[in-house]
């Protein structure tokens, strides 16, 4: 191969690296927002890429009380890509509210484990227990 072909090939490969990094970031499970209550309850809004097509992302709310496994609640399965989310803690009420864009998305009372999705009624207690050793950067599926 002559020198010009090597240069063109090198430039093409160098251009693919950022695309591959962005693709990996796009399809990797990720934490949108994370909070820890004053008494140590960890809470996260997480998002996974759906590889089965048609439904781009699954969004879940996960939490863990000290010394217990992670619990999971459903938050959405046909969601678009959320760049980030915000969380606010009302420590006196012991409630966390997670916002996507500027809209309340999930509300969680960490003492009672009561969970509200958008405008729906409360569900108490995790819908699923995640396996031992699971962490929020991993897929929930």
Q: Is the pLDDT of residue 58 over 70?
A: yes
pLDDT of residue 108: 97
CA atoms of 10 and 103, how far apart (whole Å): 45
Q: Comparing C-alpha atoms, which of 118, 74, 81 is closest to residue 98? A: 118
Q: What is the DSSP letter of 121?
A: P
CA atoms of 116 and 97, how far apart (whole Å): 9
**Lowest model confidence (mean pLDDT) among 20-29, 42-51, 100-109, 127-136:** 20-29
CA atoms of 126 and 69, how far apart (whole Å): 11
Whether the model clears a pTM of 0.85, i.e. scores above it, the answer is no
Mean per-residue pLDDT for 104-125?
Answer: 93
- For the chain, percent of residues with pLDDT exceeding 70: 81
């Amino acid at each position: 191969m002559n020198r010009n072909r090597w240069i063109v090939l090198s430039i093409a490969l160098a251009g693919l690296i950022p695309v591959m990094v962005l693709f990996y970031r796009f399809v990797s499970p990720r934490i949108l927002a994370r909070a820890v209550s004053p008494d140590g309850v960890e809470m996260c809004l997480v998002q996974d890429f759906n590889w089965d097509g048609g439904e781009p992302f699954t969004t879940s709310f996960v939490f863990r009380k000290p010394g217990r496994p992670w619990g999971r609640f459903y938050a959405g399965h046909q969601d678009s890509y959320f760049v980030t989310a915000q969380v606010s803690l009302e420590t006196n009420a012991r409630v966390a509210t997670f916002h996507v864009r500027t809209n309340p998305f999930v509300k969680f009372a960490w003492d009672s484990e009561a969970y509200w999705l958008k405008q729906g009624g409360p569900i108490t207690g995790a819908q699923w227990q995640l396996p031992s050793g699971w962490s929020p950067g991993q897929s929930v599926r």
